Chains A and B, each alone.
Chain A
Amino acid sequence: MLPGIPTYAYVGLSAVLFAMGVIGVLTRRNAITIFMSIELMLNSANLVFVAYARQYASMNGQVFVFFVMVVAAAEVAIGLALIVAIFRSKRSIDVDALRQLNG
């Protein structure tokens, strides 16, 4: 096993990244920024997978990262399509403006 950065550092970094992603999703009004924050959360999860994959010398974690990336890509495709459609009808991508489904 190669010496190097201890696993807890990776996990810590991932936690920080995740927290930043969460704050971004909850706080930002721009839809694209929210998507970027979601990507950040997904990638922080990827980091944890890889870190533990290296610690236990198992390929499972690395393979799972591929799955996550595929899902993230698909989600972004659909999400951006949605944003374009919303923009076409509302001329704005401020999520606070999307409140017709209330009651």
Chain B
Amino acid sequence: MFALVPLIVLFPLAGVVVNALFGRQLGAIRSAWLAVTMAALAFIVGLIQLGGLLGNGGEAVIVPVATWLSVGDLHVDWAFQVDALSVTMMLVVTGVGTLIHVYAVGYMREDVVHNGDPARYTRFFIFLNLFLAMMLILVGADGYAMLFVGWEGVGLSSYLLIGFWFEKGENNIGNTRAGMKAFIVNRVGDLGLMIAMALLFWNFGSLTYREVFENIEHALADPAALAILAAVGVLFLVGAAGKSAQFPLFVWLPDAMAGPTPVSALIHAATMVTAGVYLIARSNPIYHATADAYGFSPSDLVAWTGALTALIAATIAVAQNDIKKVLAYSTISQLGFMVAAAGMGAYVAAIFHLVTHAFFKALLFLGSGSVIQAMERGMHAAEDGHHGHVDPQDMRAMGGLWNRLPITKWTYLVGALALAGLPPLAGFWSKDEILLDAAEHFPAIYAVLAFTAVLTAFYVGRQLVMVFSGEPRTSAAAHAEESPAVMTGPLVALAVLSVLGGVLNLPKFGEHDPATWVHGLRNFLATALPVEGHGLIEANVAFPSAAFAFLALMFAYFFYRNAYRSAHDQDPLEGLGGLYRALSKKWYLDDLYDFFIVRPYETMAQVIARGFDQGGIDLVANSLGDLAREIAVGFSGFQRGLVRAYALVMFLGVVALLAWFQLAGPR
């Protein structure tokens, strides 16, 4: 049963290969459904692994596949580690991934027509399956080496998918630039991860989880080893900051919204960005070992990084007008919650929030894709000519969609309320676990996260009001049409998951609650992660968080209900002046990066390219070529075609030869 786990990677890879080689023969529809089938098969393999784990009491199983490197002391295998944590991740990735694949079948059909290249349809599914394979390598790895392969692989897939419409975007290069930005910023994080891996190998002799964590056990008393572990912990945070978009490396994620919406849902909400959280959770022995050794330990740093990221991103989300950008900053904020939970030692809470967030954030992104395409259909239907052209993603141009999109509206509402943390939806239970742990052990972080939760509810309410309520503000919104079933089906499925997802890990409502399904996820993950806390629901935390979320939603409703009469109205928050401008400009972080890093780098690149490469090296190479040509031209003077001249030269040559023989040559 466990031996089947390599299939979880091989099925999507097979999808990639078959679609790449035979995509044209299969045709668009069959290749897309093949990709969906491969994702579904991977999900089934994940379920089989779950069954196996439930059967053997959750004990971790290593499934080796092949040897990769055997160089000196370094021995790395391709091997899968099947334990509770990796199976949870696998199920989330393949489950939500399959739903998104189905959605993409419908979404991309319209998108390729809208962008004018129907032949690119199959390529999307090749990249999507590739991403799935890489992400499953990442979560199924038995050590940091194989994790890194998956880590880089998902970075590559992200780049390919963000820049899918590579000739579109600002100045016909915007999407490509967004893809490059994602790759380069991720690279900064990857450097941290690589150095950490090198440190681990050098000092602890291995890169597999089992061996590294065993060796850590033996080294606990040694302060030098603890220092190395602390450095590794901090460097893992750097890697996670790159991949999971934490401060200050989150700048790539909003730009990544340039990719098609299924990409935003799958990669930048549900799965790839959770890789950093997974890394920290998986490395919990390292954080545990260094937790007491220092006043401000690496896990404290992780917790504060997460908390601050959550707050900063939530403030920026309040001032965004693009529907996907709001969701992007919301994702960064919720990832901050997860990272903070991991830093506080509440690994189960972090993973629980990862799972529920995957449900409702993917739902929100897919829903936003449905809204965007509804606006595009509205633009076609309205046929207003030039007046009808609006940015289909700008919320100021929407409005009144509640009456026009019957299925999308309900699913989007469910997702939004789950994000805001309204009970009894999934988001409430998972966010509450994190807040509970913070309130008990880290009161300062609790304050930050609680305030962020209020902001979350506020910007969620703002988005709901701007998109759905009131009167349509443009003709595109007035003529918007609902999406087809292949798109609304996954929306409904994810909405159900967002409602029921809390059941995965309900807290106990009293010491006498014997229900076995309570704390299901915590009990399951207890075999792989340290669990702490009593698991009782705490009214002092739960009640205020629910109440504040509800109040913030109401406030947003009343504040924005009449704020936008036309598409050109100003946001009422603009009354805040400079603060609002800072928020909408993302606290000028991108501008700072541009000024201090990007511009000097580009200038230096220009200097080297023009001065040194073109002026120096090319000059030398071209001069040598010119010199050779001049010599050749000179010599071609001998070859003028005049026969008598040749005869003369021959004759003179013979004379010279004879003279030499006669006078000074050999006898």
Residues of A at the B interface (CB closer than 8 Å) are 22, 25-27, 29, 95-96, 98-103
Cα separation A96 to B640 with both chains bound (whole Å): 11
Q: Which residues of chain B come closer than 8 Å to A26, judged between CB atoms?
A: 644, 647-648, 651
With contact pairs A22-B651, A26-B651 given, residues A98 and B643 touching in the complex (Cβ less than 8 Å):
yes
Whether A103 pairs with B647 at a CB distance below 8 angstroms is no
Bound: A22/B648 CA distance, A: 9
Q: Which residues of B contact A98 (CB under 8 A)?
A: 641, 643
Q: How far is the CB of A86 from chain B (nearest CB, A)?
A: 11
Tell me the residues in window 618-667 of chain B with beta carbons closer than 8 Å to chain A beta carbons. 636, 639-644, 647-648, 651
Min CB distance, A102 to chain B, in Å? 3
Whether B641 and A102, one on each chain, are in contact in the complex, defined by CB atoms closer than 8 angstroms, is yes
Q: Contact partner of A100 among B641, B647, B648, CB < 8 A?
A: B641
What is the chain B residue whose CB lies nearest that of A31? B643
The answer to whether A103 touches B644 (Cβ under 8 A) is no
B636 with A96: CB separation less than 8 A: no
Select one of A25, A95, A103 contacting B636, CB under 8 A. A103
Partner of B641, one of A22, A27, A29, A99: A99
For residue B521, give the distance in angstroms from its CB to the closest CB of chain A.
84
- Which of the listed residues A26, A27, A29 has the most CB atoms from chain B within 10 Å of its own CB? A26
* Cα–Cα, bound, A98→B643 (Å): 7
Write out the residue numbers on chain A whose beta carbons fall within 8 Å of the beta carbon of B651. Answer: 22, 25-26
Q: Could you list 19 further interchain pairs (A-B, Cβ under 8 angstroms) beyond the known A98-B641, A103-B636?
A: A22-B651, A25-B647, A26-B648, A26-B651, A27-B644, A29-B644, A95-B644, A96-B642, A98-B643, A99-B640, A99-B641, A99-B642, A99-B643, A100-B641, A101-B639, A101-B641, A102-B639, A102-B640, A102-B641
Complex alpha-carbon distance, A64 and B642, angstroms? 34
Contacts of B639 in A (CB 8 A): 101-103
Chain B residues in contact with chain A, CB under 8 A?
636, 639-644, 647-648, 651
Residues of chain B within 8 A (CB-CB) of A99 are: 640-643
In angstroms, how far is the closest chain A Cβ from the Cβ of B490? 72
Q: How far is the CA of A26 from the CA of B642 in the complex (A)?
A: 11
Q: Which residues of B contact A29 (CB under 8 A)?
A: 644
CB distance from B645 to the nearest CB of A (A): 9
Bound Cα distance from A3 to B647, whole angstroms: 40
Closest to B654 in A: A22
- Closest 10 A-B residue pairs measured CB to CB? A99-B641, A102-B641, A95-B643, A102-B640, A101-B641, A103-B639, A103-B636, A26-B648, A25-B647, A99-B642
B188 to chain A, nearest CB (A): 58
Contacts of B643 in A (CB 8 A): 95-96, 98-99
Residues of A within 8 Å of B641, CB to CB, are 98-103
The smallest C-beta distance from A82 to any residue of chain B, in angstroms, reads 12
Query: A98 — nearest CB in chain B belongs to which residue?
Result: B643
CA distance A84 to B636 in the complex (A): 30
CB-CB under 8 A from B642, the residues of chain A are 96, 99, 102
**In the complex, residue of chain B having the shortest beta-carbon distance to the beta carbon of A28:** B644
Chain B residues lying within 8 Å of A102, measured Cβ to Cβ, are: 639-642
Residue of A nearest to B633 (CB): A103
Please give, as numbers and ranges, the residues of chain B lying within 8 Å of A96 by CB-CB distance.
Answer: 642-644
Contacts of A101 in B (CB 8 A): 639, 641
Q: List 17 A-B contacts (CB under 8 A).
A: A25-B647, A25-B651, A26-B644, A27-B644, A29-B644, A95-B644, A96-B643, A98-B641, A98-B643, A99-B640, A99-B643, A101-B639, A102-B639, A102-B641, A102-B642, A103-B636, A103-B639
Bound: A12/B567 CA distance, A: 115
Distance between Cα atoms of A72 and B648 in the complex (Å): 21
Expressed in whole angstroms, the minimum distance between the Cβ of B659 and any Cβ of chain A is 15
Residues of B within 8 A of A95 (CB): 643-644
Q: Which B residue's beta carbon lies closest to that of A102? A: B641
Contacts of B644 in A (CB 8 A): 26-27, 29, 95-96
| A-chain residues with CB within 8 Å of residue B648 when the two chains form the complex | 26
CB distance from A31 to the nearest CB of B (A): 9
Q: Which residues of B contact A22 (CB under 8 A)?
A: 651
| In the complex, residue of chain A having the shortest beta-carbon distance to the beta carbon of B642 | A99
Give Cα distance in the complex from A99 to B643, angstroms.
7
Closest Cβ of chain B to A23, distance in Å, is 10
Interchain CA distance A99-B644 in the complex, whole Å: 10
| Distance in angstroms between the alpha carbons of A25 and B647 in the assembled complex | 8
Give chain B residues whose Cβ lies under 8 Å from the Cβ of A100. Answer: 641
CB distance from B21 to the nearest CB of A (A): 50
- In the complex, the chain A residue whose C-beta lies closest to that of B643 is A95
What are the residues of chain B within 8 A of A103 when measuring CB–CB? 636, 639, 641
| Cβ contacts under 8 Å, B636 to chain A | 103
CA distance A27 to B443 in the complex (A): 112
CB distance from A88 to the nearest CB of B (A): 18
Question: In the complex, which residue of chain A has the Cβ closest to the Cβ of B648?
Answer: A26
* A21–chain B nearest beta-carbon distance, Å: 11
Q: How far is the CA of A38 from the CA of B640 in the complex (A)?
A: 23
CB distance from A14 to the nearest CB of B (A): 15
Chain A nearest CB: distance from B533 CB in Å?
90
Cα distance A100–B639 when bound, in Å? Answer: 10
In the complex, how many angstroms separate the beta carbon of A87 from the nearest chain B beta carbon? 15
Residue of B nearest to A27 (CB): B644
Q: B283 to chain A: closest CB distance in Å?
A: 72
Q: How far is the CB of B655 from chain A (nearest CB, A)?
A: 10
Give the complex CA separation of A102 and B644 in angstroms.
Answer: 13
For the complex, what is the distance from the CA of A91 to the CA of B643, rounded to whole Å? 18
Complex Cα distance, B646 from A101, in Å, reads 12
A27 to B534, CA, bound (A): 118
Contacts of A25 in B (CB 8 A): 647, 651
Q: In angstroms, how far is the closest chain A Cβ from the Cβ of B343? A: 78
CB distance from A98 to the nearest CB of B (A): 6
Closest chain B residue to A25, Cβ basis: B647
A47–B603 CA distance with the chains assembled, in angstroms = 84
Cα-based distance from A96 to B642 in the complex (angstroms): 6
On chain B, the residues within 8 Å of A27 by CB distance are 644
A-chain residues with CB within 8 Å of residue B640 when the two chains form the complex: 99, 102
Of all chain B residues, which has the CB nearest A101?
Answer: B641
Q: How far is the CA of A36 from the CA of B651 in the complex (A)?
A: 17
A27 and B647 alpha carbons, distance in the complex (Å): 10
Question: Which of A99, A100, A103 has the most C-beta atoms of chain B within 10 angstroms of its own C-beta?
Answer: A103
